[in-house]
Amino acid sequence: MCETNHTSHIKLDKNGNCNTDEHKNWNRRSFLQALGLVGGGSMMLANTPLSVSRPSPLSTALSQSENENILILVRLQGGNDGFNTIIPVYDYDVYANARPLIHIPPSEFINLSDDYAMPKPMNKLERVWGDGQMKVVHGVGYENSSLSHFKGSDIYANTNLLDDDRTGFMGRYFGRIYPDYFDNPPPSPPSIQIGSIGNLVFKGPDSDYSFAVSNPRRLLQIIENETFYNLDGVDENCTYGDKLRFLREATNTTFNYAETISAAYERSTDYGGYIDDNLGRQFSIISRLIKGNLGTKVYMVTLGGFDTHNNQIQRHQQLLTSFSEAISNFYADLTAAGWDDKVLSMTMSEFGRRFRENGSLGTDHGTAAPIMFFGTGLNGNGFVGEHPDLNNLTRGGNVTNTMDFRKVYATVMKDWLCIDEGMVGEALLDTNGGPFESLDLGFNCSGTSGGNIPINGESLSHSLIYNSNQILINIASPQTTHINVELFNVIGQKVATLANEMLMERRNLVINVKESAKTRLSVGPYVYRIQTNSGNYSKSLVIS
């Protein structure tokens, strides 16, 4: 990367010195926008495309809150046919009559229950189901579903049913709690996309919060061939110097993440058994990064080809085989390494397929479809929600969704990633005046608002209250205990002791964070940690 190419338009005075009059007229955000680095821009480093993006505050906040949970988003690009993925055995005659040429015959069933089955190309998931590592949420969608690939993908990413929006639900959350990136970059990289570039899910108001990498081994080229820029001697009191330092900081941060990712990859080993196809390679890479303790909290992988307008039987079977092989091997790999209970995977697609087949041995764009979850953290297999009514189709031949996709997102954010309920509502653009009710997916987050931690059969509870400009921590204990509450910043440094006292039985302790800190707190995310006689409990908060 050549700095002078980006800064040559900054003019020096006739003596070659910085023009300090310009300095007050620029800011880093506008400068990034001018360079095209905000909102998914990329740098070419050692011939390897890497997105220059702000790191995920999820990695920062949750890594400090003693939460090791990781989320994998499995994107089935093109619109997966849910009816030939999770077969409605309970109404098989209606299903088969609607699909006379492309239905799955009973001889090809893998029975999940008396009411539902999978096709045989998904046979590798039979053991996953039997081991209690799979759940299915029925009929996921939204009202007036868009049948456009682009619009449908955007809606599932930005959760905005009313207006066009170029931000994503996780990107908005990241932007809400993220402090100055260059002042306090976290030790872990941002959310990572393997093998694909760009998705609105991670795009925030000011930046795309994902780091795209095709092969971690290629990052070694960056480490070996590029050098870190020296920041000494750069005059920050003028526009040229400030921009020069800014670019050097951005590039150095990218180098750091390249080295961090590569180091995590090399700390682990291949499990073996993955099919050498696109999705298998993506999961193999993610597995090594997780086992190498990279610290990234959210990953996305993509399997394309689900737009099955014709020749669906063969095409869909091949895709489902690839999908089930990758998921099965991934969790066998994680189980062997002891990570299976910390990693939750969920599918997402821009829409389902129409219930009735078309005239080309395929299906056209449709509405609702199931979402599949995988992981030991589900604590058992099963089905969630109500299956769409196959006898009550719309004029266009589609089923009506029975589950708002935002409720699924909210459950994962609140109960798996342990994000504050209020922030989840903001991130999902909740305009209903209340939080989305959680689904019973088999897990919960004991550190979230309303969450409880058992103590001798009862519960210590702690929750956050955002009231005007004040932030309050409300703690209640079922028994008398000594309590110590400490506040940490995003890089794990202790900032303040908020309380150190005896909490009496069945009494509430309300801590005003800003007042109790007795020091100036910068805007951004923090983590409080509660130490009691029975254990330690943590939660992230945001100073605004």
Among residues 462, 406, 467, 453, which one has the least CA distance to residue 434? 406
Residue 199 has what pLDDT?
A: 73
Yes or no: say if 349 and 306 are a contact pair by the CB < 8 Å rule: yes
Instruction: Identify the helix (H) or strand (E) that includes residue 265.
Output: helix 239-267
Q: How far apart are CA 325 and CA 329, in angstroms?
A: 6
Among residues 362, 277, 272, which one has the least CA distance to residue 319? 277
Q: Give the domains, in start order, of the chain with CATH numbers.
A: 57-211+276-427 (3.40.720), 452-543 (2.60.40.2550)
Yes or no: say if 478 and 460 are a contact pair by the CB < 8 Å rule: yes
**In this structure, what token pair is assigned to residue 428?**
């999902």
Residue 444 has what pLDDT?
A: 83
What is the identity of the amino acid at 332? A
Q: How far apart are CA 247 and CA 47, in angstroms?
A: 19
Among residues 388, 392, 404, which one has the least CA distance to residue 82? 388
**Stretches in the chain below the pLDDT threshold 50:** 1-12, 14, 20-66, 179, 181-183, 220, 223, 447-457
Residue with token string 């338009």: 9
User: What is the DSSP-derived secondary structure letter of residue 121?
Assistant: G
In degrees, rounded to 5, the angle at the alpha carbon of residue 412 between the alpha carbons of residues 406 and 418 is: 125
Residues 6 or more apart whose Cβ sits within 8 Å of residue 317: 119, 121
Q: How far apart are CA 495 and CA 470, in angstroms?
A: 18
**In this structure, what token pair is assigned to residue 269?**
């080993």
Yes or no: say if 399 and 390 are a contact pair by the CB < 8 Å rule: yes
Q: How far apart are CA 419 and CA 472, in angstroms?
A: 16
**In this structure, what token pair is assigned to residue 243?**
């921009």
pTM for the whole thing?
0.71
Q: 3-class secondary structure for 323-358?
A: HHHHHHHHHHHHHHHCCHHHEEEEEECCCCECCCCC
**β-strand 134-141 against 403-404: which pairing, if any?**
parallel
- How many other CB atoms are there within 10 angstroms of residue 184's CB atom? 17
Q: Could you give the 3-state DSSP secondary structure of residue 238?
A: coil
Buried/exposed code over 92-124 (b: 16+ C-beta within 10 A; e: otherwise): beebeebbeebbbeeeebbebeeebbbbbbbeb
Angle 239-267/278-291 helices, nearest 10 degrees?
Answer: 100
Q: How far apart are CA 486 and CA 516, in angstroms?
A: 10
Percentage helix, strand, coil, to 5, in the chain? 35, 25, 45
Residue 261 has what pLDDT?
A: 78
Residue 499 has what pLDDT?
A: 93
Residue 40 has what pLDDT?
A: 35
- What is the distance, to the nearest Å, from the Cα of residue 476 to the centroid of all Cα atoms in its chain? 31
For the chain, how far is it from start to end, CA to CA, in angstroms?
36
Residue 306 has what pLDDT?
A: 97
Q: How far apart are CA 85 and CA 489, in angstroms?
A: 45
What is the identity of the amino acid at 510? V
Q: How far apart are CA 139 and CA 147, in angstroms?
A: 16
- β-sheet bridge partners, residue 532: 535
Q: How far apart are CA 163 and CA 421, in angstroms?
A: 23
**In whole angstroms, how far apart are CA 236 and each of 1, 38, 344, 459?**
21, 22, 45, 53
Residue 467 has what pLDDT?
A: 73
What is the identity of the amino acid at 320? L
Q: How far apart are CA 432 and CA 407, in angstroms?
A: 12
Q: What is the DSSP string of 41-65?
A: -EEEETTEEEE--PPPHHHHHHHHT
Residue 427 has what pLDDT?
A: 86
What is the identity of the amino acid at 474? N
Yes or no: say if 320 and 292 are a contact pair by the CB < 8 Å rule: no
**In whole angstroms, how far apart are CA 207 and each of 163, 171, 430, 486?**
20, 8, 22, 31
Residues shown for the chain: 544
